[in-house]
Amino acid sequence: MPDFSASLSDADIAAVLTYVRSSWGNGAGALTEQQVATLRAELKATQFAARQLSNKH
């Protein structure tokens, strides 16, 4: 699978999490881009560069 970690925006992450949270019979509500950005700020989580997440040895 190609490495796309550097291309995921907060909106992309919110969309993926919303899909997972609402699939397979779950009734969780949608997440917004702002919620992801707020949580990233609270956790002091930065967006990683592709090489930082690479598992290639």
Q: pLDDT digit string (tens) for 16-42? A: 999 998 888 888 889 999 999 998 889
Give residue 7's pLDDT. Answer: 75
Helices (H), the chain: 10-22, 33-42, 50-53
Who wins on pLDDT, 22 or 1?
Answer: 22
Size of the chain, expressed as the number of residues it contains: 57
CB 14 within 8 A of CB 33: yes
Cα–Cα dist 45/14, whole Å: 15
pTM over 0.95: no
Residues 6+ apart with CB under 8 A from 37: 10
End-to-end Cα, the chain, rounded Å: 15
